[in-house]
Structure formats: C-alpha cells, structure tokens
C-alpha cells in the first residue's frame, strides 16, 4: 500500500506535518546554482536584445535560444546518455522560475524543454532519443508541439488530422492542420498528433523540411510577443514509419501526461513573473512622489504590495510543495532508465490533481499581481516604456493554455470524484467521519497554542467542511452520482474549495517548518501566512455557502449553513496591520522578501 505522501489528493484526507513538505528553503546549493546561471543568462544574453525580441525577430529568437542552449539550460532533464545532465525536476523548476521574467522568450524556452522534448524523452524509442534528444539538449534543434486544431482546442482528442499507412508500409501520409503552435516559426522538429485511419489518436515526429509540411504566418497576439505562434498545415505529408511516437491509438497518453507536468511548470513560471512584478512595483513606488510623499507611504499602495507578495508566497509554497512531492518519489533512481521514466510518468499522473491546482491558482494570482503592478505605476504602467505593461499582457495567456482554467477546474473535481468512486482515494471514510461529527456533536479539536496554532487548528475544519459538502451534494444526486459532472458550477466550486485548502495548508506548513528550523525570518513567514489565510478563509466561507444555496432549499439550506458556520470559526486576523507589516518588508527588501539564494 502506497504511503499517503505518495498519493495524489492525500492532503484532503490527512493532517500533514511541516516536516514532510518541500519548501523553496529546502533547495540544495546545486539547485540554486541553476538559479544563478539562469539569472546570469537573462541579464547578459536576454536583456540586451529584449526590445528587439518583442518585435518577434525569428533569427534573433533562434540565436538567443542557442545561447540558452550553450549555457546548458536545455540539458537539465535530458539523461546523460542522450547528451543532457539527467538532473531532477526541482533543478528544472528553478530554471523555469528564473527565466519567467523574459515573457515570451520563456514560452519558447518552456516549449523546448517541455512539450517539445518530453514526449520523446518519455515515449520515444532508443533510436528516436538518439536521433533527437542530443540536438534538443544543445539547442541545435528547436522543438514544438502540435495538438490544437482549428476545430479542437479544449476537446483536443476530437482532432481531425489523419494519418494513413502507405501501401508499401514504409511511411504514414498525414493530412490536416494545427493552430496556435508555439515555436512554430522557428522549430525544426514537431510533435504532431493525428488519427491513424481517422480513428486512432497517435503522435508523430515531423521534421520541418518534410515535403507537404507548411508553417503559416505569425499570429498577431495580445502578449508574449517575442514567442512565435503559427498554424501548421500538412498535405499528403510523408512521415517515416519509424517516426511514429509511442503506440498507435495511445496519443492521448502522451498528450495528457505531458500536460500534467506542463501545468506544474506553468505555475512555477508564474512565481518568477510575480516576483519580477513585485520588485518593479516596489522600486517604482519608492521613487515616485505624489502629495509630497513616496507612493510606498500610502497605505492603499502598501496593501497592493502586500497582496502581490502574499500571492507570490502562496503560489511559490504550493508549487514547490507539489514539485517536491513528485521529485521525492521519482528521485529513487536505483532502477533502470526506462523503469525510472515510467515511474516519473506514473507519479505525474498520481499528482495530476495537484498539478492542475497549481496551474489554476498561480495563473489567477499572476492576473491579480500584474493588474495591481500596473495600478501602482498609474499612467506609466499603461505605457510600453515600463515593463509591467508587458507583464500585464503576457500574463493573460496563462489562464488559457495548458488547458483553460475552466477545463482544469472540471478536471480537479472530476478526477477526485473518479478516484473516490473507484476506491483509489479514501474520501468516503472522511465524508462519513464529517457526518458523524455533525450527528454526534463531536467537540472541536483542542486549541493549539503554538505559533500559527490557530491556523493549524482551522485547517482540519476547512477539510471537514469540504468532506461534509461533498457528502451532502453527492447524496442529493443519488442514484445517478455521475450526473454531478454535468453541474459545472458545482464542480468548479468544489475545485475552488480544494484549491484553497491546498494553498492554506501549503503556506502554513512552510512557515511552521521555518519556525521549527529556527529561521530568523520566521516572524515574517507568520505574517504572510496570516495575511493570505484571510483570503483563504473568506473564499472557503463564500464557496461553501454558495454551494449550499444552489443545491438546498428551506430548512435543509439553513441547517447546512449553520453547520458550516460552526466549523468556520476562523481566527481573528487584522488585514490592515498584517498588510502594512508585510509591505514594510517588501519595501525594505525592494521586492519579494523571501528570496532564497
Ligand atoms: C499563444 C498561444 C500558444 C499556444 N501554444 C500551443 C502549442 O504550442 N501547442 C498546442 O497544441 N496548442 C497551443 N495553444 C492552444 C491552447 O492550448 C488552446 O488555445 C487552449 O487549449 C484552448 O483551446 P481553444 O483556444 O480552442 O478554446 P476552446 O476550447 O474553444 O474554449 C473556449 C472557451 O470555452 C471554454 N470551454 C471549452 N470547453 C468547455 C467545457 N467542456 N466546459 C466549460 N467550458 C468550456 C474554455 O474554457 C474557454 O473559456 C496555444 C494557444 C495560444 C493562444
């Protein structure tokens, strides 16, 4: 039986301790070295050409990617036998976070090291790996990933592109088109999905110079302008049989598994973007004076800085917690390379819920952070000369790709229910315990007088509210439980409750770990946790009441609301004082005050 820390969504069932969560402060010196190398690349090789890249100069984009390759930034996850460094997921995460402030360039980087190469790494034959991975590792070859079609985006498996085996059985003939393909204008190698005989969804490796393959013009986009985004068309395109990736009819395994890790990486990138926006906002507010004072002296500006810092801390804590859990399981490399890759895929699937949680929460935090960064800059924030203007535009795509946030919310809740129904997750027992607590009027857990003890005591109550609501709402749908999936508003509300619980617990456990380890900045960790906890508690109350009101009427509605009210006696937290205290630290640090280096 797998231990709870090896099980996705286990955080909803058990009370985790601060000892077993991974936090950014746990990064090793070697992992942090990648942060330094990446920052050096950004300042030396990216910043001087940033302005020109924003006009989408494909040659310059390629050349700058080449430099990232020379700095070793594409090699991290690729095994040594294929020309890479064979390092862990956390090392890759650190680079993604550090490269994020480059906006569109970070998208090109992310495709190269993620969806443009991981399908080969995880599903390729040895021959395919030998042919492509060493060149992808150096940047000699640029990769892209073609899944979306004009008629199928969220419903990606409804693709219409086809592949037919030639009569001499040497190659497949592909016909169809793709749209919105990142790196499309600069890539040499494309992972293309098409249906064999119009039925079996399958992936293929397609080189750019393949006859019949055509790359369309660049999309004129709202943001991430330095990245290339094009359509692709293929007309009677002959793809050698040995370039079929994975198995016929199993393309969905590739598409879905690669998306899992992509969602986590997106979350980590967002953290880097928010830190950058906060630093720029603090520095601007320090030098800009109005009414004879620097902007940082105004409490309303301080609250905005606090909010960006708290969002960043929350996203960072959740993303490193998830990455750390996954990394810990896959790091046991005592087995063969292929067994280790299978284990990585299985672990990513196990934690697919947590990956989606990060994608949704972090991308929505970035939206708030980018918006407030512009507001702090006033009219200048609306002008291209100031970087936050681009941050605001670049942020928007994070809620659309890697699965829209609507699709991810449906996935978070749907996946949980599916695992519960199949017995993979012991949620039914937790639901029964919550119901018992109501019927038998069990006493509340004893108060905890340790630092953050009030929040630690509140977390199990938040989970109890969730268990109770899942039980009550599910019963309402009996005997056709699966019909809940059609009630998208309910599913999304459950997803949001799950997200808030994960975030609340991740930030609290991170701070508890800092306190236990005697971190001199543990007071600051407590401040940010208390500040962010206010938002978590408010959202949990709002979501719980909204769920009850939309499913129940009359007495049942009032009874359920009363139970939730009893369990939601959250600690008293003063947002004004906490926000001002947090802002002071941001101002003193001239940016994000929790920097690890
Ligand atoms: C800049 C950019 C880069 C991209 N890069 C790549 C790439 O490299 N490779 C690639 O393959 N794709 C890429 N994409 C495509 C991206 O993944 C899709 O745009 C995304 O999956 C959404 O699909 P869609 O645009 O067709 O929107 P649709 O699926 O049409 O969705 C439109 C709206 O309807 C909602 N919706 C859809 N279905 C449901 C449902 N069942 N229930 C409730 N709401 C629903 C969506 O959430 C969304 O709000 C990129 C897109 C952009 C804009």
- Closest ligand 1 atom to residue 178 Cα is 11
440 Cα: distance to centroid of ligand 1 (angstroms): 48
What CA–CA distance (Å, rounded) separates 212 from 239?
10
Last residue of a domain, one of 199, 225, 248: 248
Q: Are residues 179 and 219 in the same domain?
A: yes
Supply the residue whose CA is at minimum distance from atom 29 of ligand 1: 154
Assigned domain for 208 exists: yes
Do 242 and 269 share a domain, yes or no?
no
pLDDT digit string (tens) for 48-104? 999 999 999 999 999 999 999 999 999 999 999 999 999 999 999 999 999 999 999
C-alpha 397 – ligand 1 centre gap (Å): 10
Please say if the pLDDT value at position 21 is more than 70: yes
Name the residue with tokens 């004879």. 292
Q: Do 557 and 464 share a domain, yes or no?
A: yes
Residue 256 covered by a domain:
yes
Nearest-CA residue for ligand 1 atom 17 is 401
Give how many domains the chain has, as a whole number. Answer: 4
Same structural domain, 241 and 257: no
Domain boundary residue, one of 92, 112, 142? 142
pLDDT at 1 > cutoff 50: no
Q: What percent of the chain is modeled with pLDDT above 70?
A: 97
Q: What is the pLDDT of residue 333?
A: 57
Mean pLDDT of 22-48: 97
How do residues 275-326 score in pLDDT, each as one tens digit?
999 999 999 999 999 999 999 999 999 999 999 999 999 999 999 999 999 9
Question: Ligand 1 mean position to 587 CA, how many Å?
Answer: 38
* 3-class DSSP assignment, residue 78: coil
Closest CA to 357 of 505, 467, 224, 487: 505
* Residue 235 shares a structural domain with residue 258: no
Q: Is residue 53 part of a domain?
A: yes
Give the nearest ligand 1 atom to 111 CA.
Answer: 8
Cα of 546 vs centre of ligand 1, distance in Å, is 28
- 3-class state of residue 542 by DSSP: helix
pTM of the model: 0.97
pLDDT at position 15, please? 80
Atom from ligand 1 closest to the CA of residue 403: 21
Among the listed residues 97, 149, 364, 402, the single catalytic one is 402
What pLDDT, on a 0 to 100 scale, did the predictor assign at position 342? 86
The answer to whether position 592 is within a domain reads no
Mutate which of 148, 219, 360 for ligand 1? The one with the most ligand atoms within 8 Å of its CB, which is 148
Whether 98 and 73 map to the same domain: the answer is yes
Task: Name which of 53, 67, 246 is nearest 142 in CA terms.
Answer: 67
Pocket of ligand 1 (CB under 6 A): 111, 145-148, 153-154, 180-182, 221, 224, 229, 397, 400-401, 404, 406-407, 488
Report which protein residue has its CA nearest ligand 1's atom 40. Answer: 407
* Residue 143, helix vs strand vs coil: strand
- Asked if 428 and 566 sit in the same domain, the reply is yes
Q: 549 and 469 in one domain?
A: yes
The structure tokens listed for 328 are 């810990």
Short-list 262, 253, 196, 208, CA closest to 234: 208
Give the HSE-up count for residue 502: Cα atoms under 13 Å, Cβ half-sphere. Answer: 29
Mean pLDDT value across the chain: 95
What is the 495 CA–ligand 1 centroid distance (Å)?
19
Give yes or no: residues 136 and 29 share one domain: yes
Which residue range forms the structural domain that includes residue 114?
24-142
Q: How confident is the model at residue 332 (pLDDT cuts 50, 70, 90)?
A: low
Residue 237 belongs to domain with CATH number: 2.40.110.10
- The CATH number of the domain holding residue 100 is 1.10.540.10
Q: Quick check: is 578 in a domain?
A: no
Measure the CA–CA gap between 423 and 413, rounded to whole angstroms: 15
Cβ atoms of residues 400 and 348 within 8 Å: no
Q: 494 is written with which tokens?
A: 């459950």
331 is catalytic: no
- For the segment 130-140, the average pLDDT, to the nearest whole number, is 98
Q: What is the pLDDT of residues 345-371, one digit of tens each?
A: 999 999 999 999 999 999 999 999 999
Task: For Cα atoms 317, 319, 322, give the angle at the middle one, nearest 5 degrees.
Answer: 105
Question: pLDDT (tens digit, 9 = 90+) per residue, 555-594?
Answer: 999 999 999 999 998 999 999 999 999 999 999 999 999 9
Instruction: Indicate which atom in ligand 1 lies nearest the CA of residue 405.
Output: 47
Pick the closest to residue 416 from 499, 476, 489, 478 (CA basis): 499
Boundary of a domain, candidates 248, 282, 297: 248
- The pLDDT tens digits of the residues spanning 215-265 come to 999 999 999 999 999 999 999 999 999 999 999 999 999 999 999 999 999
In the chain, what is the straight-line distance between the N-terminal and C-terminal CA atoms, in Å? Answer: 38
């Amino acid at each position: 039986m797998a231990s709870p820390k090896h099980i996705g969504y286990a955080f909803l069932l058990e009370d985790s301790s601060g000892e077993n969560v991974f936090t950014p402060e746990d990064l090793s010196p070697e992992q942090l070295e990648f942060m330094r190398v990446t920052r050096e690349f950004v300042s030396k090789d990216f910043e001087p050409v940033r302005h020109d890249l924003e006009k989408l100069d494909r040659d310059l984009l390629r050349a700058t990617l080449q430099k990232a390759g020379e700095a070793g930034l594409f090699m991290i996850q690729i095994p040594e036998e294929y020309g890479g460094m064979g390092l862990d997921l956390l090392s890759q995460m650190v680079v993604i976070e550090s490269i994020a402030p480059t906006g569109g360039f970070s998208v090109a980087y992310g495709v190269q090291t993620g969806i443009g190469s991981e399908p080969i790494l995880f599903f390729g034959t040895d021959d395919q790996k030998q042919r492509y991975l060493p060149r992808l590792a150096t940047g000699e070859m640029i990769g892209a990933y073609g899944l979306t079609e004009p008629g199928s985006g969220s419903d990606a498996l409804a693709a219409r592109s086809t592949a037919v085996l030639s009569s001499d059985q040497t190659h497949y003939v592909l016909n169809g088109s793709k749209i919105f393909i990142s790196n499309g204008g600069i890539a040499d190698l494309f992972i293309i999905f098409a249906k064999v005989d119009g039925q079996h969804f399958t992936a293929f490796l397609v080189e750019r110079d393949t006859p019949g393959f055509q790359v369309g013009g660049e999309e004129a986009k709202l943001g991430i302008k330095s990245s290339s985004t094009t359509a692709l068309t293929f007309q009677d395109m002959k793809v050698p049989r040995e370039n079929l990736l994975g198995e016929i009819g199993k393309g969905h395994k590739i598409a879905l598994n690669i998306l899992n890790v992509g969602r986590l990486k997106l979350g980590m990138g967002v953290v880097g973007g928010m830190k950058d926006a906060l630093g720029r906002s603090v520095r601007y507010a320090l030098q800009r004076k109005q009414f004879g004072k620097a902007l940082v002296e105004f409490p309303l500006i301080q609250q905005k800085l606090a909010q960006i810092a708290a969002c960043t801390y929350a996203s960072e804590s959740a993303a490193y917690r998830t990455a750390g859990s996954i990394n810990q399981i896959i790091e046991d490399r005592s087995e063969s390379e292929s067994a280790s890759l299978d284990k990585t895929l299985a672990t990513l699937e196990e934690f697919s819920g947590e990956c989606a949680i990060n994608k949704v929460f972090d991308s929505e935090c970035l939206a708030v952070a980018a918006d407030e960064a512009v507001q702090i800059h006033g009219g200048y924030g609306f002008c291209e000369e100031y970087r936050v203007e681009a941050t605001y535009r670049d942020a928007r795509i994070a809620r659309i790709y890697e699965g829209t946030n609507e699709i991810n919310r449906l996935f978070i809740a749907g996946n949980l229910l599916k695992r519960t129904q199949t017995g993979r997750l012991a949620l039914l027992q937790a639901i029964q315990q919550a119901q018992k607590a109501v019927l038998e009027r069990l006493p509340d857990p004893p108060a905890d007088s340790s630092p953050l003890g009030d929040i630690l005591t509140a977390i199990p109550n938040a989970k109890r509210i969730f268990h109770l609501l899942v039980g009550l709402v599910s019963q309402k749908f009996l005997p056709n439980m699966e019909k809940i999936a059609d009630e998208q508003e309910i599913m999304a509300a459950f997803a949001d409750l799950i997200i808030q619980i994960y975030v609340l617990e991740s930030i609290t456990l991170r701070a508890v770990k800092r306190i236990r380890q005697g971190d001199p900045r543990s007071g600051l960790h407590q401040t940010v946790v208390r500040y962010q906890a206010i938002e978590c508690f408010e959202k949990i109350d709002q979501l719980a009441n909204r769920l009850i009101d939309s499913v129940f009427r009359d007495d049942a509605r009032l009874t359920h609301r009363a139970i939730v009210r009893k369990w939601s006696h959250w600690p008293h937290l003063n947002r004004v004082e906490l926000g001002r205290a947090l802002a002071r630290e941001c101002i003193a640090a001239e940016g994000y005050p929790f920097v690890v280096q």
